[in-house]
């Protein structure tokens, strides 16, 4: 089973798991550390991967993944290609609110290599929210960590009354405005 499935494992109590997929390992590590520094009242594990599919040998050790964030560096076409190739290995039901796209490096306007259209298209085709951030700036890094944490909380089902699907629909309706 090469595809990532959202519900094929049992959830752990008071726990949430985030998977970051992106070609820049250093940036992933920094973002993961920033997320872990935030205050939260549930246990959190962050898995970092360069691409999908994930190595099958660790499949039995892997917990259920609540949110997948695909990281695209706007300065690198290679990172976009990497994400597009990885999307094929995600089961369709993940795209009901448990996937988001994180576009990094937007602070450096002169070095944009990936077109905005391509990213917007990606968000529309996969019905998932697109977040923009600049992880080299402290403020943006903290804000992004907080947003991801909140999304993770919702996707793991820790916020009563709000489901992953309703939240992503909310985000998409706001973005369309």
Partner 1 sequence: MDETVAEYIRRTVLKIPRDEIKTMLEKWGLLSETQLQTINFRQIKESISQDVVQLCEENSVDIKQAAVLDIIYNHVYPNKRVWCVYQMKKTGEEAEFFDLTDFKKKFKGRLRSALKNVTINFREYEDNAIWIRIAWGTPYTKPNQYKPSYVVYHSQTPYVFISASVLKSNLPLLCQALVLASNYHDIREMELRSHSLNSLKDIVFKRYSQNFQTHYPRPLQERNVAPKSADLRIIQENRNEKERIERVNREVFGDGPQPKLEFAQYKLETMFKSDPQMDVLDKKEPFRCLVKFSSPHLLESLKSLAPAGMADAPISPLLTCIPQKARNYFKIREKKHFFPESFVSP
List residues near partner 1 by CB under 8 A: 22-26, 29, 32-33, 36, 43-51, 54-55, 58, 76, 78-79
Q: How far is the CB of 12 from partner 1 (least distance, A)?
A: 13
24 Ramachandran zone, left/alpha/beta (phi>0; psi -120 to 50): beta
CA–CA gap between residue 66 and residue 52 (Å, rounded): 16
Instruction: For partner 1, give the closer residue by CB, 39 or 58.
Output: 58
Contacts of 132 (CB under 8 A, 6+ apart): 103, 106
Residues 6+ apart with CB under 8 A from 126: 87, 95, 99, 101
Give min distance, CB of 85 to partner 1, in A: 11
Cβ closest to partner 1, residue 37 vs residue 120:
37
Shortest distance in whole angstroms from residue 19 CB to partner 1:
8
Query: 57 or 92: whose CB is closer to partner 1?
Result: 57
Note the helical H segments in the chain.
25-37, 77-87, 116-125, 138-155, 164-176
In terms of CB distance, is 19 or 151 closer to partner 1?
19
Question: Considering the complex, what minimum distance in angstroms separates the CB of residue 27 from partner 1?
Answer: 8
SS3 157: coil
CB of 51 to partner 1, least distance (A): 7
Q: How far apart are CA 159 and CA 62, in angstroms?
A: 23
Beta strands (DSSP E) in 22-119 are 43-49, 67-73, 99-104
Q: Coil, strand, or helix at residue 114?
A: coil
């Amino acid at each position: 089973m090469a595809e990532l499935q959202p519900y094929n494992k049992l959830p752990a109590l008071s726990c949430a798991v985030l998977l970051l997929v992106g070609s820049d390992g250093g940036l992933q590590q920094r973002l993961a550390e920033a997320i872990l520094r935030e205050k939260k009242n549930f246990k959190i594990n962050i898995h970092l991967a360069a691409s999908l599919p994930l190595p099958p040998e660790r499949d039995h050790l892997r917990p259920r993944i609540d949110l997948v964030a695909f990281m695209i560096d706007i300065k690198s076409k290679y990172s976009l290609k990497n994400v597009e190739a990885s999307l094929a290995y995600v089961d369709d039901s993940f795209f009901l609110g448990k996937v988001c796209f994180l576009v990094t490096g937007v602070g450096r306007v002169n070095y944009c290599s990936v077109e905005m259209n391509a990213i917007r298209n990606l968000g529309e085709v996969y019905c998932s929210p697109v977040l923009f951030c600049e992880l080299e700036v402290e403020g943006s890094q903290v804000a992004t960590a907080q947003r991801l944490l909140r999304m993770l909380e919702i996707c793991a089902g820790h916020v009563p009354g709000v489901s992953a699907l309703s939240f992503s629909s909310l985000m998409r309706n706001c973005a369309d405005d």
